[in-house]
């Protein structure tokens, strides 16, 4: 009976992480006394019994070939008993039991992979971007490519951990659904007109689902003269979010001629000090200028320069702006304040930031 009741192996959901811990982590689970930064990108955790576990953090290009992943694994096999992990910002962290292996590992990561070491402390950690064209049918820009171009200009900020007042997390999203989430600095693609419906293709979609997906109820069914049901969009209600395009590709909202990029500032999900906060629009209407997006990099560096010059130590980007005022922020950075910076959404409220779990 007991055998009959036995469940099969679990084959979905997150695996049991304890099976994959570095042996020193498993041995000292819950018994770590302290940790410190040895140098940019290198940490040591000290257990209560004196065991030490070293971590080397490298920036990854996020979108990697199988060949590159194999090379990363070979390095982990050589120095880390096969153990490494990826952070939520796609840094690669190598875990080492021996201090003597730290330098050879760093040399090999640089020589074989060409990855920089850093991203700890008061640095710009690896820039997070959305899944983009790899998995999504909505992207209005190349999230992976634009972030690579931006990171190339931020090597100094990644490799140094005391150049900035506090850590700076940057994210990029290829539409306003904003899978990249909140960031100290966030780059978002914006559309500027309602979706253009291709009536001949509407039949391929489940119309009730397309109607239901619209957050402002701007889509409704329409009966054509020939009796065929199609859809229409109430332009005045549409806020150009693009959610309907995900539900039905015939609702085409992407437009290479009019789509632009925006930069938002001051978001964080950490509960530290003043709690989680939502980012706010800082720069509107930058060109979606592939393949290097120089206007975006220029704007990000202007924000970082102003932040470096006037923020207090440990002050995150959003806390800095709230202290100096948004008026001062626009003066320091030189960005124009436009009508698009005024949040006039009738659904806006003041208490979005009530939980670290909430995203908008
Ligand atoms: S941000 Fe938008 S386009 Fe980019 S991956 Fe997410 S849903 Fe798709
Ligand atoms: S773009 Fe967004 S707001 Fe406009 S119709 Fe589509 S889902 Fe609705």
Residue nearest to atom 4 of ligand 1 (CA): 174
Region 32-41 average pLDDT: 96
The pLDDT of residue 9: 66
Q: Which of 262, 110, 249 is nearest to 185 (CA)?
A: 262
Q: By the 8 A CB rule, do 82 and 68 touch?
A: no
Task: Return the pLDDT at 263.
Answer: 97
Q: Using most ligand atoms within 8 A of CB, pick from 215, 232, 244, 254 the residue to mutate for ligand 2.
A: 244
What residues does each domain of the chain span? 16-113, 128-192+256-354, 196-252
* Pocket flag, ligand 1, residue 216 (CB < 6 Å): no
- Mean predicted lDDT score pLDDT of the chain: 90
State the distance from the centre of ligand 2 to the C-alpha of 71, rounded, in angstroms.
Answer: 44
pLDDT reported for residue 206: 85
Length of the chain (residues): 360
pLDDT at 340 over 50: yes
CA dist list (Å): 251 to 155, 235, 246, 247? 40, 13, 8, 8
Cis peptide upstream of residue 181 (ω within 30 degrees of 0) = no
Q: Is 38 in the pocket of ligand 1 (CB under 6 A)?
A: no
What confidence tens digit (pLDDT) does each residue in 70-113 have? 999 999 999 999 999 999 899 999 999 999 999 999 999 999 99
Whether 196-252 and 16-113 are alike in CATH topology: the answer is yes
Q: Which atom number of ligand 1 is nearest to the Cα of residue 174?
A: 4
Q: What angle do CA 124, 125, 129 make, to 5 degrees?
A: 110
**Predicted local distance difference test score (pLDDT) of residue 358:** 43
Residues 6+ apart with CB under 8 A from 15: none
**pLDDT of amino acid 205:** 82
**CATH of region 196-252:** 3.30.70.20
- 16-113: CATH topology: Alpha-Beta Plaits (3.30.70)
Per-residue pLDDT band at 25 (split at 50, 70, 90): very high
Read off the pLDDT of each residue in 344-356 and give the average, rounded to a whole number: 53
Percentage of the residues of the chain whose pLDDT score is greater than 90: 68
Q: What is the pTM of this model?
A: 0.88
Looking at CATH, the fold of the domain delimited by 128-192+256-354 is given as Sulfite Reductase Hemoprotein; domain 1 (3.30.413)
Task: Calculate how far, in angstroms, residue 239's C-alpha sits from the geometric centre of ligand 2.
Answer: 6
Neighbours of 52 (CB within 10 A): 15
């Amino acid at each position: 009976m007991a055998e009959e009741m036995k469940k099969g192996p679990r084959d979905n959901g997150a695996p049991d992480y304890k099976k994959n811990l570095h042996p020193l982590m498993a041995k000292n689970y819950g018994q770590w006394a302290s940790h410190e930064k040895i140098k940019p990108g290198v940490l040591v955790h000290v257990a209560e019994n004196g065991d030490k576990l070293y971590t080397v953090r490298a920036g990854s290009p996020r979108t990697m070939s199988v060949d590159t992943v194999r090379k990363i694994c070979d390095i982990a096999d050589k120095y880390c008993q096969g153990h490494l992990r990826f952070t939520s910002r796609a840094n690669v962290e190598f875990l080492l039991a021996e201090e003597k292996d730290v330098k050879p590992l760093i040399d090999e990561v640089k020589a074989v992979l060409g990855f920089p070491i850093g991203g700890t402390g008061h640095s710009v950690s690896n820039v997070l971007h959305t899944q983009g064209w790899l998995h999504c049918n909505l992207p209005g820009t190349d999230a992976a490519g634009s972030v690579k171009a931006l990171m190339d200009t931020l090597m100094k900020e990644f490799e140094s951990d005391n150049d900035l007042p506090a850590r700076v997390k940057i994210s990029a999203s290829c539409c306003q659904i904003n899978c990249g989430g909140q960031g100290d600095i966030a780059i978002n693609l914006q559309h500027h007109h309602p979706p253009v419906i291709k009536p001949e293709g509407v039949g391929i979609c489940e119309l009730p689902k397309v109607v239901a997906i619209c957050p402002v109820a701007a889509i409704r069914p329409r009966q054509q003269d020939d009796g065929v049901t199609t859809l229409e969009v109430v332009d005045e209600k549409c806020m150009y979010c693009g959610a309907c395009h995900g539900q039905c590709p015939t609702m085409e909202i992407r437009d290479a001629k009019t789509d632009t990029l925006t930069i938002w500032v001051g978001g964080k999900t950490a509960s530290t000090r003043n709690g989680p906060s939502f980012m706010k629009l800082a720069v509107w209407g930058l060109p979606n200028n592939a393949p290097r997006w120089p206007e975006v990099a220029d704007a990000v560096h202007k924000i970082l320069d102003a932040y470096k010059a006037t923020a207090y130590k440990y002050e995150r980007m959003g806390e800095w702006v709230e202290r100096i005022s948004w008026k001062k922020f626009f003066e320091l950075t030189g960005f124009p304040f436009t009508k698009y910076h005024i949040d006039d959404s009738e659904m806006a409220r003041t208490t979005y930031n009530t939980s670290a779990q909430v995203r908008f």
